[in-house]
Each structure stands twice: as C-alpha cells, then as structure tokens.
Structure 1
Amino acid sequence: MGKKVLITGGAGFIGSHLGDLFLSRGYEVTAYDNLDKQVHGENPERPAYLNREIELVVGDVRDADLFSRTLKQADILVHFAAAVGVGQSMYEITRYTSINTMGAAVVLEQAVQQKDHIEKMLVASSMSIYGEGLYICPSCGEVNPKLRPAEQLASRRWDMLCPVCSQPCIPAPTPETKPLFPTSVYAVNKRDHEELFLAVGDAYGIPVTAMRFFNVYGERQALSNPYTGVGAIFASRLLNDKPPVVFEDGGQSRDFIHVHDIARGCLAAIESDKANGEVFNLGTGRKLSIMDVGTAIARELGKPSDNFIVNNQYRAGDIRHCYADISRAEDLLGFRASIAFEDGVSELCSWVGSQTAVDMVDKATEELKKRGLTR
C-alpha cells in the first residue's frame, strides 16, 4: 500500500485534481470537504467528477473532533480548504476569517497532536498575498508599490506609476522574496495560512511547504460561483448569452496556470526534501491581460468577443499587474508549467460547453456596489 494523503478541500476544483494525481502515483487519498453550497450547489452531494477511489469525509475544518479522527490515518496532510473570493471577503469578514484563519488553526492543532505520524504538510497560499507585483521604473530600478493612489484611480489613470518618481512602471516577474502587501481579507487569510503552517511546522519538526498559486483555471471550476476565477466567471456569462463585465480598461494582467500543472507542482513539492520549509510560486511566468483572456474564451465558445462591458470602474483593493517569477520552482523542484494557455483554454471551453451555469455575477457586483467597493 502507498502512503496515505488527506486533502482538506479535496472535493473541490484543485483538490480533486491533486487527488487524481496522487492516486495515479500509488497513494491512498482521503478528501475532507464541507461541500459548500456556493461551490457545489444548493443540494450538495458527492461530485460526479470525484474519483471513486477517493474516500470522502464531509466535514468542516473547524470541527476538531471529526478532523482529528480523519487525520489519524494520514501520512501526508494537504490543506486546501478555504472560503475563496476576494470581493466577498471584504464584506463577509467574520465568515472568511473564521473558515480560513481559525480553520487552519484547528487543523494545525490536530496535526501537532498527531505529529508522530505526519511526515509532511503542504498548504495552498496565493499570489494575492503580494498585492501588486514587482515593477521596474526606468529611473529607480526595481520598485514594490502598494495600491495605486485613490486620486489616480478616480481620474481613471490605470497604469502603475513609480512610488518614488511617478514615472510609468513596467511589470516584471514577481519573486517569492517580494514584500507582501495583501489588499483584501482573503489575501490576509492566505498569508495567515502560509505563515501559520510554516511557523508551526518549524517549531514541531514537521516538514512543510507553502505553494503560492497564481490564477488557476481548468475543468471542475465552479461556474456558478461568482467569486471564482475570472475564466469561469467569463464563461458563465457567455454561456448565459450575457456580455462579460470588465473592470478598469481590461489591460490589467495576471498569470494563468492550468490546474493540471498546479497538481504536478504540488506533487513535486511533496516528494522533494528540497521543498521543506520553502515557499514556491506556481505560475507560468507569462502575463495575460484580462481582456485577452475573455476574448480567447469567447472565441472558443463561439460567442461574440466584441460586446464586453468595459465599465471603466475599479474595485477596492484591485491590483494592476502580477505574474510569477518561476525560477525557484525550476531550480529546487525541477518544475515548469507545461500547458500553454491557448491549449488549456481550449480544453476548458470544451468542458464548459457541456455544463449548466447559473449566472450570479450581477448579484455579486451589486453586493460590492451597495457597499461602496466599486467606484
């Protein structure tokens, strides 16, 4: 028998793909998941896509007794469970922090009590903890700006200016050493995840790795969750014959990595001692504008790509650019993303075309608007 892995959030988008990969490598896998209605629908049940060889335990990570019993058989702990959504986290502060930060605390207390049989832990962090990415100023060199000033955004000048000399800056690959400036409750929670796991693991001698996921896309993403990835949000709108809504001017960029590559990167970290105590970016090192992503999805779905609503507004806490410096994962893990966006989006849209998506984007946007979080 192979080693036994427990994945919190293991019935979700990324967790289920990692579970598949573990099974293919001879591991035994248990998924611990609360089957949240926002992700799995009003009457959640075991997802059809979840491999039948994966044991599913339905439970909340804050339930210490149930989690403790489930953890007893595990050799490896992967913590993916989280409430996910940058915008929503800004007005459901208690819920997000309870599930994310306090949930991680419960998980870690139980892991410490059972540390004699926990060989390794891996935790999902996020690129959102960086805030803005790294930039190059022609005069000042590398700069690490915080959020763009409110007065700049109010005048609809979107591009990043140097915080020292006010010249336009060029986005650069963001390394793990960049200072962290989380700009949402969700981002602060993810920083908590990373720092809690690394600190506790170091104190108790449990090897830990934190993986900073960039923008993940692929099959099984929750299409009806308006707080999920931008690719799924655009796809949901297009499937319902509604134009996607684009904030700012659509020129903001992110690093889009396929879920299969995320799973590969996590497995590489689990299986390498070089990853112990380390933090890794998991991205492609390529930046894509939000408008380019939306256009590619529309084209693949056979939908119009010239009627997007570019609303010239911004959301509190939004950043302009962030994409990964992938050199540390390459050097220490031998990992490099292998799926080009053009290939991955084609696969995504083939799957999306077979799904039913309830478009909740207008409702989510209205929630932000009435709280003054869109301007």
Structure 2
Amino acid sequence: MSRIRIGSFNVRNLADGEGRDLDRIAKMINYYHLDIVALQEVLAEGKVIGGIDLKEPSGQAKAYDRSLKRRLSGPWDSQWAQPVLSRENEPFRGEDRRGEGYAILWRTDKFDLPLGRWGEPYRPEILSNYNPVIAESQLRLIRDPLYARFLLKDRHVAELRILVTHIVYGKSGALNDVIDYSAAKMRQKEFDILAGQLYRRVAEYYKVQDCTSPYTVLLGDYNLNLGAYPAVPAVACFDAKGRPIDESRAKAYIYTYQTDASTIKRDTPEYANNYDHFSFDERTRRIVRMDSIHSIDLVNKYTKSEDVTQEQRFDRYRKEISDHLPIMMEVDL
C-alpha cells in the first residue's frame, strides 16, 4: 500500500515571486510531505513554479533561483498550462483580465507519467474537448480545467487522475441578455459540467489502461461554499449523459468534501468561505482517508518574529502568500 498526499492551493495571482514568500509555501509542502500539489492563479507561464534557465554574461546557463520547485525537498517535476478563452466566452470573465493558468507539481520518486500511443509521456494539459450546455446556449466553461495522470512509481498498479479547476467568480453585465440567473447560479452550473460531464469522461476512460486501476479527483477553488448558499452540493447526482437529476433516480454520484473555511476576509483578521474542495465518486472514495481532508492554517504557521498580533499575521499573509488557505487530503493506493 502507498499513502499519497495531495494538496490544492489558490496562490492569488502568482507571477514572478517578487514580494511573495515562496519559502513559506515550500515549508508547508515539505512539512506535510505532499506528493502532488495543484495550484490555481499562476501567471507568467509558471516560471516562478518550475524555474527557467537564464544566461550569464559568459553564456553559461544558471538556475532561476526564485522558483518554488528549487525550494522543495526531494525530486520534483512540474507543468504549467493556461486555458484558452474563446471570443464568445469573453463576457463571462467579468472583471478578471489576468489570463491566469494552472500549475501542478509532483514527486518523480513517487510517480511515473503514463505513456501515449507513440511512447511519449502524457504530461498534464488543459482538458478542452467537450460540448457542454449552459442555459439555452452552447457555452463552454469560462476556464477549462487542467487534467493530469500519475502512475505509482515502477509498479503501475494504480493511476491517479486529477482535474484542477478554478471556477470564475464574477459575471459580466453583458451576460444579462444571455442568461437570467445570478453569478452564483452560473458557478453552480459550471460545477455540474465539471462533475457531471468532465469528471465522468475522465473517470470512465479505460481504453488506456493495462491492468491498472484508475482513481479520479476533482479539486480546486470552486468559489462555492459547501453547506451554505451559494453552495456546491455535498452529493451531486447525474444521469448517463452527465445531466444533474434528483438523487432518488441517480446513476452516478459525486461527493464533495472540505468544509473548513479556506478564504481570508479582506479587511479583518478572520476566515471567510469554504470555497476550496475535493470531489470524487464512490469508487475513489473507498481509497480516501476521510479524516485527512482539511485546510492548512498557513496564516499561523512559519510566521516571522515581528508578526506579534493576529492582524499583523493576516495582513502579511494576504500580501505575501494569498487570500486562500491550502487544502490537503490523503489516499491509500
């Protein structure tokens, strides 16, 4: 049996690392012995995550020493990817114009990447091949998710499939002529597409399997609370086509977890919404250590000596880390 620890973290518009406490983020990853870390709101092609090669005046390459990966213990690989927004999706972005992407890091001593048809490694990529329906129009998710696949190192008896999402929070006024429901309802409909259509497609795809058991997890910043309006359902039910239906007639269930507050209030030293979650089906739930699912109180961990009050700790955290807390879970494979 192998115990795998998975983390998810909205790092709030992380670009070049200037003014950001990457050491503190790395300490958290190292301390909790995370094996896979999925990040949302990563900009600038993810250079701050994986590092790049810079040239010395002599022409020799030197490491990009501000990268997060160089601060982590053990061997790691990483991938950054950015959803491509189509022209018809432009009004759905609201005021968010940052063109953000996802990053995912994984320990290479724990995982191998599956191989494609021609023997090439299947690296994490944006999953964009789908045709959902929102309201009366054929409209895509505003931000397509990142899709990653990991095989247990050397043995290849189990595969983890990870869908990383960041559901867009706002709704532009231009949408009022297209849909007549609120931004919160739009977020809930996006979750239905992610859980009812994309999750099922990924979880039920066995053509690439060779005596390997696949387990799938949807995770990230849903911008929806679990257990309070605007809400994501604790148990979402879908028919064979991935459409939400009444639980009593359900053919497929997706369970959502992580109820700890995971966002930081703007002006007060308090936690707010539980927007960050993990979702998975009954099959994957059997391998999850349910008592391991929680947020990580990074506000009060690894604080600097001058942070003597809660106000100072929260203020520094918002400026140097994020307006979200990381979350984590464990699975036994």
TM-score (norm 2): 0.35
| Structure number having the greater helix percentage | 1
TM-score (norm 1): 0.33
